[in-house]
Amino acid sequence: MQKMNRRHFLSTSAAASAALIGGLRQPTEAEAAGVDLTPGVPTGVNSSAIMEALPGKKPLIKLSYRPPNYEAPLEYLRTPITPNDEFYVRYHLSDIPNVDVKTYKIAVGGDGANGQAEITLDELKKMPAVEVVAVNQCSGNRRGLSKPHVQGVEWGYGAMGCARWKGARLKDVLDKVGLKKETIEIGFNGADGPAVDKTPDFIKSIPVWKAVDESTIVAYEMNGQPLPHFNGFPARIIVPGWTGTYWIKHVIAINALTKPETNFWMNPAYRIPVGKFPLRDRFITQENATTTPITEMVVNSLITSHRDGAKVKTGKVTVSGMAWDGGYGIRAVEVSTDGGKTWAAATLGEDLGRFAFRPWSFNLSAKAGKNSVMVNATNRIGQAQTSELIFNPAGYHNNVMQNITLVA
């Protein structure tokens, strides 16, 4: 199926076009001065990043604009649900269409399907609707903290967000055509495309067992509103628990496959060394002797109430943040104020579901001078964060326990 409006870059308005294609406006002095990057990202990021408000968004940290890659500032991650206008933006390809919902259709078929179908947005909305609260996190979140530094978008902490996603189960969509017993993967293609022919189209697949899971959906709403343009309007794939590489935006094709997908973005891209991480969700049909696809998110946490080096008053200080994992659920968050020698339990906030951000808070007694705060999350199957970086060439799965200093 041909990409729809592939050469029409954000044609909804001249302002939108200017924002992304060649005519990116100069930031105001206030925006330029407001960039607050994650400590540890490469020096070059400091010299090039700016605060930029894309159409429909509050100012985000611009790391690149063709394709657009915009990180959420730490302050946007202080609530368990990330507002749509504060949600990060991630693209691999720079030809981003303005999809016309009147002609929009999702082609469903493939050699592993018993038939072919085209589903309009209205038809998708008439299917049984489900809602899931889930963290969407770029596979490369915190890549900029790798030492030594590795290639790729040098994300800090903010290439993630958590939202309420509403849509139809992917399983119900696939039932429209039926799957052959030989089907092993379900592939996806979006309406965004490469600006030049030599760049491979962004095509992804997931194992059929993950595709028919009750939580995997084709979403058309985000936090009770239509999907924002930069987060996949009019419909996108939601794969809760797995990193964002599989969450295809502007989805226009869903294909049942009897052979593994061989697109560049499946292999060699988005791979991790075999046996490097304690993961349970494996993508067997895509594994080889040395690498395996990145799948579920590792257990992680983030202090969002304070930045490293923040000044506080002596006495009681409430430190808080978020914890999350690949869908097993957060069992505990612990805080250490003595460099990891001893630990105390933090208080967990509302549980919005096993795929969601889990808020936590901890009261410490700040003494005059420097106060160390280290945090560690554990999920319900006993996985915890690591004290040292598990290095890999793509900078994935950085879940080193965060350690900040508060100055009282």
285 and 148 inside one domain: yes
Tell me which amino acid residue 66 is: R
pLDDT at 26: 52
Tell me which amino acid residue 367 is: K
Residues 6+ apart with CB under 8 A from 319: 303, 305, 306, 335, 361, 362, 363, 364, 373, 406
232: domain CATH number is 3.90.420.10
pLDDT at 340: 96
Give the Cα separation of 379 and 325 in Å (integer).
7
Tell me which amino acid residue 165 is: W
pLDDT at 373: 98
The H or E element that residue 207 is part of is strand 203-207
114 and 257 inside one domain: yes
312 and 279 inside one domain: no
398: domain CATH number is 2.60.40.650
159 and 273 inside one domain: yes
Neighbours of 30 (CB within 10 A): 9
| 15, part of any domain | no
Tell me which amino acid residue 368 is: A
Q: 258-292: b or e for each residue (b if 16 or more CB lie within 10 Å)?
A: eebbebebbbebbbbeeeebebeeebeebeeeebb
Its pTM stands at 0.91
283 and 157 inside one domain: yes
State the average pLDDT for the chain: 92
For 26-77, what is each residue's pLDDT tens digit?
Answer: 554 434 457 889 999 998 898 889 999 999 999 999 999 899 999 999 999 9
388 and 242 inside one domain: no
193 and 305 inside one domain: no
Task: Choose among 320, 407, 331, 327: nearest CA to 369.
Answer: 407
For 278-320, what is each residue's pLDDT tens digit?
Answer: 888 899 999 999 999 999 999 999 999 999 999 999 999 999 9
**Residue 162 main-chain phi, psi, to 5 deg:** -130, 130
| 154, part of any domain | yes
What's the domain range around 202?
105-293
Domain count for the chain: 3
| 93, part of any domain | no
